[in-house]
Structure 1
Amino acid sequence: MADKITADLVLTGGTVLTFDAAGTESTALAVAGGRVIGLGDVDHLVGPDTRVVDLYGRTVLPGINDSHLHGAWLGALWPGTLMGAGGMGEGAAAPQLTSPAERRAAITKAGDIVAALGITSYTEPGLGPGEDSGQTGCFSTGVLDEYAAMAAEGLLRARVTVLRLFGELDGPSTLADFERGMASRVPATDPRWLDITGVKIFADGIPPMRSAWTHRCYADGSQGHLLVDGTDPAEREANLRKMIDLAHRAGAQIGVHATGDRSIEVTVSAMADAIEAHGHAGRHYLIHGDLVGPDVLARLPGLGIGLNTQPGIAVLTAPWLAAALDEDAAAGAWPLRRALDLGVRVCLSSDAPVIEPDWRRWVAAAAEWMAAAPSPELMRHLLRAYTVTPAVQDGAESWKGTLEIGKAADLCVLEANPLHAAPADLPHIGVTMTVVDGRVVFEA
């Protein structure tokens, strides 16, 4: 007779929001071997070594996946953020990571920070040789190597997805450097803990700094330009298209920082051409997408291109965007409601430490930006954009992102049910436990 399976951990006496396709809710959950093994009636899975936690009415939901969070930079800078209370550029001073020990300490601290917030996965959006001489050392190849070493030693407290970077962060890149980068070695890792299958390209800057490439003119008469190197706009665009085509042919996921409407149009056009020419969708996505136009937005679902956007930054910087362009541009920026209505693969994220990583604040900011009436359905949509949809962006929806039997036991416990809260009240609902791969990594 086969040995009876018993749980390592049972959470009972509360609400379990599975976020599966049917929106199933349960009252208890059992975990063994890093996986969910039971929902609902789990008493038969309790053994002598099972830890049983009475939720006392608290709520379990899938672990938060911050799909755009600079972990090493966060760990080095925290409790500072790039945007201080006074606005852009008035936050904490730039950190300096110059040794493996400093890199490890920053990654470890980031693990502590995200664990306390219920974050079980995050994406490091830009590590690689383009930043080996960077100002902070937070985005270098050395940081990527330290992540790989910590993953091999079992020291990561969250699952990490990495986009490699072959140009400067928020700066220029060249086609030659990109080609060399694509041919360079990728550390061997367990992709369930450290997945290095994507690349990041900076198409342009940001509207408040008048560095996004736009159709409108800024107040000074400029229109920004592509950051990709070239002798003129046509060559810059051609080189961006070549980068996207090369990465797509190599099977890499592509995340493009594109904020101006012109840069977004070129990026989506280049991705569409690559998909048509070589097949497979690639789960590419726009990063930020501030000024994405309605026609381009409508194309994204059919192309399988996602939108990774930061509602906290939208709320904080909208006045600066309006000052740089005009009020109409600000009113049409970050069209989150339209994107969700169209079925765009929308991921909400923080971009920490540009702003703080507290997802509860940014879910509330998303509802504020959408001017949406509070409802359980609205909250469910926004929470899925921080859990389920980022797992799809990671290409990992078959094994994480929802609390279904057989999937990874990545979860967090909240003091109250967020579906019954107004978005503005969500930041006041505490995180009391975080579990990654069945292991408790935070407990209040």
Structure 2
Amino acid sequence: MADPKTADLVLTGGTVLTLDAADTESTALAVADGRVVALGEVAHLIGPNTHVVDLYGRTVLPGINDSHLHGAWLGTLWPGTLLGAGGMADAGAQRLSTPAERRAAIQRAGDVIAALGITSYTEPGLGPGEDNGQTGCFSTGVLEEYAAMANEGLLRARVTVLRLFGELDGPSTLADFEAGMSSATPATDPRWLTVAGVKIFADGIPPMRSAWTHRCYADGSQGHLLVEGTDLAEREANLRRMIDLAHRAGAQIGVHATGDRSIEVTVSAMADAIAAHGPAGRHYLIHGDLVGTEVLARLPELGIGLNTQPGIAVMTGDWLSAALGEEALAGAWPLRQAFEQGVRVCLSSDAPVIEPDWRRWVAAAAEWMGAKASPELMRQLLRGYTVTPAEQDGAESWKGSLEVGKVADLCVLEANPLEVAPADLPHVGVNLTVVGGRIVYES
């Protein structure tokens, strides 16, 4: 990329953690036309109209990518969350019913996440399966409003969407899934809004005794698949058909699966689809609470990722133990093993189930792993919120790290996260957020 005569934005006098493949660090960064054009020596790019930010020793990171965040729902509930100090909140206390309400919720979420340094997120499940849903936050109308805002240049973060053809945390049918897969998606600039694929709910969650498990709950039940069918065999067959259909269509597949049995069937179905039709979208497990050791080991060779929420693990571990026992908890959310085995691990919040503050959940991940604080650990966890989600989005060629030619999505922290313990990261302030070279938040 040839250097322009002047930069639009220059950040200098601090530390730039590029999180590129070599973990390069720099002291300055220049932006022009929404992209990074130089690292290190930038003085020659400063012109009379260049906005120069003196970092005064602060640290620049790639923009945070929360790869599982319900934006419209967050904007509706905030500052409330589903899991708060008082336990479970009422998810349907407010309902989005009109385009104006949907837009206001998306805008409010944009304000919240901009102040946290979040520049991309995945809205995991919007579509006709929730058109009559309790909250109105996951409907086709919400997707349409996202598209309208993208086309008007009003989004403050880049958004990836998975479509939903069943109910949120509820049943789905093969017929509805087939009909949904044939429906059109909105036309937008894919760098601001892209409909990457589909979300399928395989099962529920362990505390509600709705995760499909090998172990029995206290009442003797083992949960079940949410995909509808006349019996267990037909439910499983229909889930497999959904996965095969979406895979053949080239769609990315994100499957909400928390129980070990549902995870086994999901990964088996994805593996069968890959073997039959070749590789396609970067499929992944959502949550994966009780993923087993043998299944975890298969994920790298299959190219299947794991999108998990360490904050939920820390907050609900006792609930899982009460439902399935201490032994189940001991093997749950195996973050350390996933990283060690080379699984594509994305860390996320699932906001507004919990708050979207990634700093808290990086700290929670370190706590859950029982890992010793080190710069290497911090880099690994930061990649789970930047580089790896860009890979999940299929966008690592143009975002996720700070490299010349990539989009200028970044945030500025008060301190260098490599120099603080994970437990202290939540106390490090976010001072600036930039998306595509445009400042969207400044403290």
TM-score bucket of the superposed structures, by smaller chain: over 0.9
Aligned partner of residue 433 in structure 2, secondary structure: strand
Aligned partner of residue 248 in structure 1, secondary structure: helix
Aligned partner of residue 26 in structure 1, secondary structure: strand
- For 1:182 and 1:11, the matched residues in 2 are separated by 45
Q: Does 1:183 align with 2:175?
A: no
Asked if the contact 1:84–1:91 (Cα under 8 Å) also holds between the matched residues in 2, the reply is no
1:33-432 pair list within 5 angstroms: 33-87=33-87, 89-90=88-89, 94-432=93-431
- For 1:343 and 1:223, the matched residues in 2 are separated by 30
Aligned partner of residue 266 in structure 1, secondary structure: helix
- For 2:280 and 2:246, the matched residues in 1 are separated by 12
Per-residue CA deviations over 1:95-114 (Å, capped at 9, x if unaligned) read 21000000000000000000
- For 1:400 and 1:318, the matched residues in 2 are separated by 34
Structure 1 pair 93–253 and aligned structure 2 pair: CA distance change class (3 A): closer
Aligned partner of residue 103 in structure 1, secondary structure: helix
Per-residue CA deviations over 1:243-280 (Å, capped at 9, x if unaligned) read 00000000000000000000000000000000000001
Amino acid at match of 1:435: V
Asked if the contact 1:281–1:304 (Cα under 8 Å) also holds between the matched residues in 2, the reply is no
Pairwise CA RMSD: 1.0
Identity over aligned pairs, percent: 83
Amino acid at match of 2:129: G
- For 2:5 and 2:217, the matched residues in 1 are separated by 64
Amino acid at match of 2:36: V
Asked if the contact 1:275–1:281 (Cα under 8 Å) also holds between the matched residues in 2, the reply is yes
Per-residue CA deviations over 1:69-102 (Å, capped at 9, x if unaligned) read 0000000100000012132x24676321000000
Partner residue, 2:13: 13
TM-score by length of 2: 0.99
- For 1:421 and 1:388, the matched residues in 2 are separated by 20
TM-score by length of 1: 0.99
How much does 1:185 deviate? 1.2
Asked if the contact 2:408–2:435 (Cα under 8 Å) also holds between the matched residues in 1, the reply is yes
Aligned partner of residue 16 in structure 1, secondary structure: strand
Amino acid at match of 1:43: A
Asked if the contact 2:92–2:134 (Cα under 8 Å) also holds between the matched residues in 1, the reply is no
Per-residue CA deviations over 1:319-368 (Å, capped at 9, x if unaligned) read 00000000010111000000000000000000000000000000000000
- For 2:91 and 2:402, the matched residues in 1 are separated by 38
Amino acid at match of 1:311: P
* Runs of 5+ consecutive residues of structure 1 not aligned to the other structure: none
Amino acid at match of 2:378: M
- For 1:150 and 1:227, the matched residues in 2 are separated by 33
Per-residue CA deviations over 1:25-45 (Å, capped at 9, x if unaligned) read 000000000000000010011
Asked if the contact 1:124–1:162 (Cα under 8 Å) also holds between the matched residues in 2, the reply is yes
Asked if the contact 2:196–2:393 (Cα under 8 Å) also holds between the matched residues in 1, the reply is no
Aligned partner of residue 16 in structure 2, secondary structure: strand
Partner residue, 1:26: 26
How much does 1:281 deviate? 3.9
- For 1:313 and 1:443, the matched residues in 2 are separated by 29
- For 2:5 and 2:347, the matched residues in 1 are separated by 37
How much does 1:434 deviate? 0.1
Amino acid at match of 2:365: A
Aligned partner of residue 419 in structure 1, secondary structure: helix
Aligned positions, number = 442
- For 1:107 and 1:207, the matched residues in 2 are separated by 30
Asked if the contact 2:161–2:193 (Cα under 8 Å) also holds between the matched residues in 1, the reply is yes
Per-residue CA deviations over 1:145-199 (Å, capped at 9, x if unaligned) read 0000000000000000000000000000000000000001111111100010210
